[in-house]
């Protein structure tokens, strides 16, 4: 479909997605069709109607094309925490972070995410890269919470809470119907975890 790469897409009423998004879509399609290991960067670029040089302007290597969303997510979390009102509690900051994630969790992203889940399930080295991205997002959330004056441990615990709530929300959302919005899943996952966090607090603290 190289000839269509600058065509107006009448089905969604807009110009086709930009180079980065097209490379991601092409890569995911090929990984699912032919296998991650079997797919080359040249094939991805070709499917997207570009050349290898363009691919490497957007992604450092083949694995990175799977994790563009992670960079976006880390930024959304951190920006939302930074932008929260000065008086916002820790809980409110975590809620703001998860609410902001919804911007990246569209129906289109959900379809891509389903492909990624399939690819990650059978490729250990891709899983490892995913964990590295996960760790980096947690660090950026920790930094954003620290900047608000939370101490180091509170910030790290808050970041783990955001990451776990996001994972739980993501899993539930992926199991739901296609057109469900992400936000209610994010809110429910965080609330469910906050309920359970009471069991982590020492009894003397709860009654204080």
From candidates 76, 94, 98, 186, binder to its own copies by CB under 8 A: 94
Buried b (16+ CB within 10 A) or exposed e, 53-86: ebbeebbeebbbbbbbbbeebbebbbebbeebee
In angstroms, give the least distance from the CB of 9 to its own copies: 37
Binding residues for its own copies, total number by CB under 8 A: 38
From candidates 32, 120, 157, 176, binder to its own copies by CB under 8 A: 157
Q: Is 74 in the site for its own copies (CB under 8 A)?
A: no
Buried b (16+ CB within 10 A) or exposed e, 167-183: ebbbebbeeeeeeeebb
Q: Is 11 in the site for its own copies (CB under 8 A)?
A: no
In angstroms, give the least distance from the CB of 200 to its own copies: 4
From candidates 4, 34, 106, 127, binder to its own copies by CB under 8 A: 127
Contacts of 71 by beta carbon, 8 Å cutoff, 6+ apart:
133
From candidates 87, 124, 149, 179, binder to its own copies by CB under 8 A: 124
Q: Is 87 in the site for its own copies (CB under 8 A)?
A: no
Site string for its own copies, 177-206 (x = CB under 8 A): --------------xxxxxxxxxxxxx-xx
Q: Which is nearer to its own copies, 4 or 191 (CB)?
A: 191
Rounded distance between C-alpha atoms, residue 31 and residue 47, angstroms: 12
> How far is the CA of 134 from the CAs of 71, 74, 78, 183, in angstroms?
10, 9, 14, 20
Residue ranges of the alpha helices (H) in 68-151? 68-83, 90-101, 107-121, 124-147
Other C-beta atoms within 10 Å of 112: how many? 19
From candidates 129, 139, 146, 148, binder to its own copies by CB under 8 A: 129
In angstroms, give the least distance from the CB of 132 to its own copies: 5
State the residue for tokens 């969303």. Answer: 69
Q: Is 160 in the site for its own copies (CB under 8 A)?
A: yes
Task: Name the residues that contact its own copies, by CB under 8 A.
Answer: 89-91, 94, 124-125, 127-129, 131-132, 134-135, 151, 153-154, 156-158, 160-161, 164, 168, 191-203, 205-206
């Amino acid at each position: 479909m190289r000839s269509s790469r600058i065509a107006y897409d009448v089905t969604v009423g807009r110009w086709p997605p930009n180079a980065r998004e097209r490379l991601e879509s092409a890569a995911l399609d090929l990984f699912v069709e032919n296998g991650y290991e079997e797919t080359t960067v040249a094939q991805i670029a070709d499917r997207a109607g570009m050349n290898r040089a363009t691919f490497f302007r957007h992604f450092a290597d083949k694995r990175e094309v799977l994790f563009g969303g992670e960079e976006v997510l880390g930024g959304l979390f951190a920006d939302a925490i930074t932008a929260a009102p000065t008086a916002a509690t820790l809980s409110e900051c975590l809620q703001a972070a998860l609410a902001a994630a919804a911007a990246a969790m569209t129906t289109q992203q959900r379809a891509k995410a389903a492909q990624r889940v399939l690819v990650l399930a059978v490729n250990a080295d891709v899983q490892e890269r995913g964990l590295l991205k996960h760790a980096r997002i947690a660090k950026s959330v920790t930094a954003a919470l620290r900047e608000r004056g939370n101490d180091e441990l509170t910030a790290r615990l808050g970041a783990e809470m955001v990451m776990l709530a996001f994972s739980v929300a993501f899993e539930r959302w992926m199991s739901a119907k296609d057109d469900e919005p992400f936000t209610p899943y994010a809110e429910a996952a965080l609330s469910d975890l906050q309920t359970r966090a009471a069991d982590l607090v020492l009894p003397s603290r709860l009654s204080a």
